[in-house]
A = this chain, B = another copy of it.
């Protein structure tokens, strides 16, 4: 049996562990993401690698490499974060692979966080045996990962699959990214909260059943509230959720027309308990687009849960190492 170190770098926490060849997590540790400079993160990464390497050595487990997933545009070939995320401080233009290679002899692979989730799901989860899989992470923002013809879509320098920023309405609201009418402005947690906020501020009466507090503290409102109010029968909240589902469905159909996938996998906090939301998206998508492309597509939740990012990060050495660059054994 072979093993690899996986590290999943998020805005609030960093998960790290040893994962075996079948994608099983053997050990796992979770750290708070250092909120200082890049150096504090890099130091933590060094410590993680040192500790896990020692521990593997002690238990006589053969490590074949290190895989890292992190938000942002990642230059996979050079193992570099080009532009990170607002949630991680000082996380731009960081040559992770070069820096960490001075501390370990193991090969290092670094990719975008949603790319590695897509990889994990396609190799070991819901997308097993599918070479054309789209993965959407609906959280604070909307992230995308695409596997097309068995390969991750990265583009010229790792900026590909920014699927939160495809347009669904060219007359739609401005997005943080510089574009407008992006899928993310409707179907992300931030987008839904913003739209709910606008409705409350525009119409006094909306806030009267339980939302009074947020009329005066609109910035504390998040997408979880929107779902709660919808469940409680609030009309404005229901509209926001329905608009998110509609925009997401249009976005997914555009993606199906672009990539002709067999599966679209959804993950992230916006899904709530998952089933009813995804079911609504599925029923909408099926009414739209080119039937021969849209109808056969399975739209479902990811399977590996919260550890998909860690597993996907860790399996990179097997997927990419010389002479076995196709895929994990899919047994």
Contacts and interface: CB of A to CB of B under 8 A. Distances in A.
B166 A169 contact: no
A36 interface: no
Contact of A169 (B83, B156, B169, B292): B169
A13 interface: no
A156 B261 contact: yes
Nearest to A288: B179
A20 interface: no
Contacts of A130: 156
A247 B169 CA distance: 10
Nearest to A150: B151
A166 B290 CA distance: 11
Q: How large is the interface on A (under 10, 10 to 19, 20 to 34, 35 or more residues)?
A: 35 or more
B156 A291 contact: no
Residue with the greatest number of chain B CB neighbours at <10 A, chosen from A246, A291, A293 = A293
A167 B165 contact: no
Contact of A155 (B157, B158, B254, B259): B259
Contact of A258 (B161, B181, B260, B292): B161
Most buried by B among A130, A148, A246, A257: A257
B156 A131 contact: yes
Contacts of A166: 166, 254, 257-258
Nearest to A160: B260
A159 B254 contact: no
Contact of A178 (B161, B165, B254, B288): B288
A106 interface: no
Interface in A147-186: 148-149, 151, 153-163, 165-171, 177-181
Interface in A40-95: 73, 82-83
A178 B246 contact: no
A109 interface: no
Contacts of A131: 156
A288 B174 CA distance: 10
B259 A179 contact: no
Contacts of A260: 154-160, 162
A105 B148 CA distance: 32
Contacts of A156: 130-132, 260-262
A179 B288 CA distance: 5
A289 interface: yes
Contacts of A132: 155-156
A3 interface: no
A240 to B, nearest CB: 15
A73 B253 CA distance: 17
A293 B169 contact: no
Given A148-B153, A170-B168, A171-B169, A292 B159 contact: yes
Contact of A253 (B148, B155, B168, B179): B179
B288 A163 contact: no
B154 A149 contact: yes
* Max count, chain B CB within 10 A of own CB: residue among A154, A170, A246, A253: A170
Closest 6 CB pairs of A and B: A155-B260, A159-B260, A166-B254, A160-B260, A162-B257, A170-B250
